[in-house]
Amino acid sequence: MSKPFDQRQLMETLEHWLKNEDSSRSNGFQSEAGAESPLEQADEAVVLLQKPLENICAMQQPGAASILDRVIGIYLQQTPQLVSSIHQAIEQKDSNALLEAAHSLKSSSANLGAMQLFCLCRELESMGRENRICEAITLQAQLDQQVQRACQALQQEQEVPVT
């Protein structure tokens, strides 16, 4: 990917490279019919899957600034606005806005391996799609907690030197 690039291009590139050769298990977030995905099997104590982070690091060019730090930085910068948009959509009972904001946060969280947040955003996205705003109200505190956990874990990943 050449510079300059925008978030959309970055996300498309990440999604392309994060796909496993087995298309039925794309990035470990989808499962075969009837089987639990790694996300559903995961211990709630695990905040980040390491495989997506490793895949991002694998795109690192020698001598270039850390691509992982850059991706995490974009995520940390944009996540508060997405969370605010989700809260505002719920408050205003705007199903479409909830769907869009939850989808964006879901995708970016998946790309960085924030599995619990991914699952929660998938649920919020579904609630927006199905116009179940009243149910979404009950998930706001959990969303805030999962965002805080994911952001803290990602900040710690930025502090880990790349080898």
In CATH, what number is assigned to the domain containing residue 89?
1.20.120.160
Q: What is the mean pLDDT of residues 15-29?
A: 47
At 125 the pLDDT is 97
The span from the CA of 125 to the CA of 101, in Å, is 8
Place of tokens 């907690």: 145
What's the domain range around 154?
43-56+66-161
pLDDT at 85: 97
Of 21, 16, 40, which is closest to residue 30 (Cα–Cα)? 40
- Helices 7-18, 67-91: inter-axial angle, 10-degree rounding: 110
- 33 occurs within a structural domain: no
The verdict on residue 21 lying in a domain is no
1 in any annotated domain: no
**Summary mean pLDDT of the chain:** 81
Number of domains in the chain: 1
**Tens digit of pLDDT for each residue in 133-160?**
999 999 999 999 999 999 999 999 987 6
Residue 9 included in any domain: no
Residue 10 within any structural domain of the chain: no
- Per the model's pLDDT, the better-predicted residue between 28 and 123 turns out to be 123
Asked, for residue 92, whether it belongs to a domain, the answer is yes
Q: Phi and psi at residue 62, in whole multiples of 5°?
A: -55, 135
Tell me if 87 is assigned to some domain.
yes
Rounded CA-CA distance 97/77 in Å is 20
